[in-house]
């Protein structure tokens, strides 16, 4: 009895391990190690090269809180427009007044001592809405399997976007130390080119999830195919880094505006989150804030806001106006706030603040100049 129990399986199996046979077949077919997710993990590497929600901007918005990032079911609540040319107000003795986004002009006092903090929050929300536009487009693809796999590339599509006649195609290519990608839209699935809506590259750091990259995105192309979802025109160029715990983001908007409006603007943003709860934010845009003299041409000045805040909520914002009809004159203003986001100090040209109300010693160190590369570019 004992002998037959040992020998019977050998006769039926001829001494061969079927697990080994299966492993050999899988490896020969190029399916990676048997019973693993190696192939799909490889796909994820290509997807991690694409822009992600790490590029959203956080700014102070109440004690201990930050600006809410747009959720898919709440994107309509996020301002989609860009800040446009500010309205002129009472210029006061200094001859300039803060330039406000059009949506804020009717309900914001130019001498409100909380103006710059409010603008910082609003500009961050606007920037988040721009990033959201392209992430929504990519999220339509992230959950799908690649259509084509090669040794150094993955292609998704052409895939028809549900509820539309649009086909989207994404190709990600792996180089020696970086990934490049191109996203196109087309009405014909057989169109080999389509219209490029997003293109860029990404260089991973110590892990695939953190690294540095750069990309170009077209509101115009996106809106041509999805006019009900994207109301804007223009282009956005983004340089970013998510290495370690730090997030750095630099954004240039080129000829961006509402599709229904004939006026477009250029603007620059920069954001740095060093990983300790603090943050730095920069915003710059051409505006008209100073009336020309008799016989002079109306020129655009440059308005730039630098904001910084500590993890505990203490913050400061500095604004500068220069160029245009101001010439060599630089007009500036300052605001500081406490952890409850209440003003503790403010100075704005032409604004009659009661200095006895302010405590300038409560201002944190100025953030002006933290991003010299961007600010110097604006001055040239």
Q: Which of 43, 44, 21 is nearest to 34 (CA)?
A: 21
CA distances to 77, 83, 304, 371 from 267, rounded to whole Å, are: 22, 9, 10, 15
What is the signed CA dihedral for 284, 303, 301, 93, rounded to 10 degrees?
Answer: 180
DSSP β-ladder status, 232-241 and 247-258? antiparallel
The number of C-alpha atoms within 13 Å of 296 and in the hemisphere containing its C-beta is 12
Partnered with residue 201 across adjacent β-strands are 180, 214
Query: pLDDT by residue (tens digit) across 84-141?
Result: 222 222 333 233 333 444 433 334 577 888 888 888 888 888 888 888 877 887 887 8
Within a domain: 40: no
Q: Torsions phi, psi of 19, nearest 5?
A: -65, -40
What are the φ and ψ backbone dihedral angles of 22, each rounded to 5 degrees? -60, -45
137 domain-assigned: yes
Dihedral class, residue 64 (left if φ above 0, else alpha if ψ from -120 to 50, else beta): left
Per-residue pLDDT, 369? 62
Whose tokens are 């991003």? That residue is 371
Asked if residue 11 belongs to a domain, the reply is: no
Average of per-residue pLDDT across 290-306: 78
Highest mean pLDDT: which range of 45-54, 176-185, 314-323, 337-346: 176-185
Query: C-alpha angle with apex 306: 114 to 83, nearest 5 degrees?
Result: 70
Distances 137 to 78, 174, 335 between C-alpha atoms, Å: 17, 21, 38
CB 145 within 8 A of CB 43: yes
Rounded Cα distance, 142 and 89, in Å = 48
Could you tell me which residue, 159 or 82, shows the higher pLDDT? 159
* CA atoms of 321 and 287, how far apart (whole Å): 9
Residues 6+ apart with CB under 8 A from 85: 99, 102, 263, 265, 286, 287, 288
Domain assignment present for 28: no
Predicted local confidence at residue 187, as pLDDT: 95
What's the number of domains the chain is made of?
1
Would you give the end-to-end CA distance of the chain in angstroms? Answer: 95
pLDDT digits (tens, 9 = 90+) for 213-245: 999 999 999 999 999 888 889 999 999 999 888
State which residues form the domain around 189: 49-379
Task: Indicate whether 7 belongs to any domain.
Answer: no
């Amino acid at each position: 009895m004992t002998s037959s129990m040992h020998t019977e399986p050998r006769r039926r199996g001829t001494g061969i391990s079927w697990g080994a046979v299966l492993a050999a077949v899988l490896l020969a077919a190029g399916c990676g190690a048997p019973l693993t997710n190696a192939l799909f993990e490889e796909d994820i590497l290509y997807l991690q090269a694409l822009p992600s929600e790490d590029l959203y901007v956080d700014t102070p918005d109440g004690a201990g809180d930050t600006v809410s990032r747009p959720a898919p079911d709440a994107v309509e609540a996020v301002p989609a427009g860009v800040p446009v040319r500010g309205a002129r107000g009472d210029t006061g003795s200094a001859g300039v007044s803060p330039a406000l986004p059009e949506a804020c002009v009717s309900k914001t006092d130019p001498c409100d001592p909380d103006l710059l903090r409010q603008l910082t929050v609003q500009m961050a929300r606007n920037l988040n809405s721009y990033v959201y536009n392209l992430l929504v487009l990519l999220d339509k693809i992230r959950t799908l399997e690649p259509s084509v796999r090669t040794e150094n590339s993955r292609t998704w599509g052409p895939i028809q976007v549900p509820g539309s006649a649009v086909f989207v195609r994404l190709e990600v290519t792996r180089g020696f130390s970086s990934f490049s990608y191109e996203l196109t839209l087309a009405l014909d699935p057989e169109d080999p080119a389509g219209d490029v809506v997003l293109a860029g590259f990404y260089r991973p750091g110590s892990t695939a999830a953190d690294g540095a990259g750069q990309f170009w995105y077209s509101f115009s192309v996106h809106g041509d195919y999805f006019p009900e979802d994207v109301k804007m025109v223009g282009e956005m160029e983004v340089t970013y880094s998510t290495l370690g715990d730090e997030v750095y983001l630099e954004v240039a908007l080129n000829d961006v505006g509402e599709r229904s409006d004939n006026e477009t603007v250029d603007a620059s943003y920069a954001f740095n989150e060093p990983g300790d709860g603090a943050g730095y934010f920069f915003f710059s845009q051409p505006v008209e804030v100073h009336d020309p003299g008799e016989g002079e041409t109306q020129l655009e000045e440059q308005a730039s806001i630098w904001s910084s805040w500590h993890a505990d909520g203490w913050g400061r914002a500095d604004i500068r106006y220069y160029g245009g009809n101001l010439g060599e004159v630089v007009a500036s203003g300052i605001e500081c706030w406490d952890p409850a986001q209440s003003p503790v100090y403010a100075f704005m040209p032409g604004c009659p603040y009661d200095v006895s109300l302010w405590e300038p010693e409560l201002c944190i160190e100025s953030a002006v100049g933290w991003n010299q590369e961007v600010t110097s570019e604006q001055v040239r």
